[in-house]
Amino acid sequence: MNDTPETQATTTVFEQIGGEAAVEAVVAIFYGKVTDDPALAGYFEGIDMDRLKTHQARFVGQALGASRPYSGRSMRKAHADLAITSPDFDRVVGHLAASLTEAGVDAETIGVIAGALAPLKDEIVTA
């Protein structure tokens, strides 16, 4: 596909990074990092990780412009009982950026993704 100004204007970030397969790959890398992080691993004890990965991929996909809808709980409801701290949220964001970089996403696109997800901090941090 030629990247003319017209196609760039109509291409979503979701499409730019490679669509559903790319988002699923990033989510897999991401959860490997957060579950290996001793400061974050406790948040995932007893969690069905396959189910969580599916929900996360759909959520991130929708946030980036995918047409498949996200039908899970709101971020506030999904994280309400987890007592997530601001430093832990920031650690998760760092792991996401590292996962995107590892998957070959360029820095500018990572910035766009971070900008789309950053407003969720107020809904996720509860401690």
Q: What is the pLDDT of residue 46?
A: 92
Residue 11 is assigned to a structural domain of this protein: no
- pTM comes to 0.81
How many domains does the chain contain in total?
1
CB 49 within 8 A of CB 96: no
Range of the domain at 69: 17-124
Q: Residue 115: inside a domain, yes or no?
A: yes
**Does residue 30 lie in a domain region?**
yes
CATH number at residue 21: 1.10.490.10
Q: What is the chain's pLDDT, residue by residue, as a tens digit (127 residues)?
A: 445 454 455 788 888 888 889 999 999 999 999 999 999 999 999 999 999 998 888 888 887 888 877 777 888 888 888 889 999 999 999 999 999 999 888 898 888 888 877 888 999 998 8
How does 42-74 read in b/e, with b if 16+ C-beta sit within 10 Å?
ebeeeeeeeeeeebbbbbbbbbbebeeeeebee
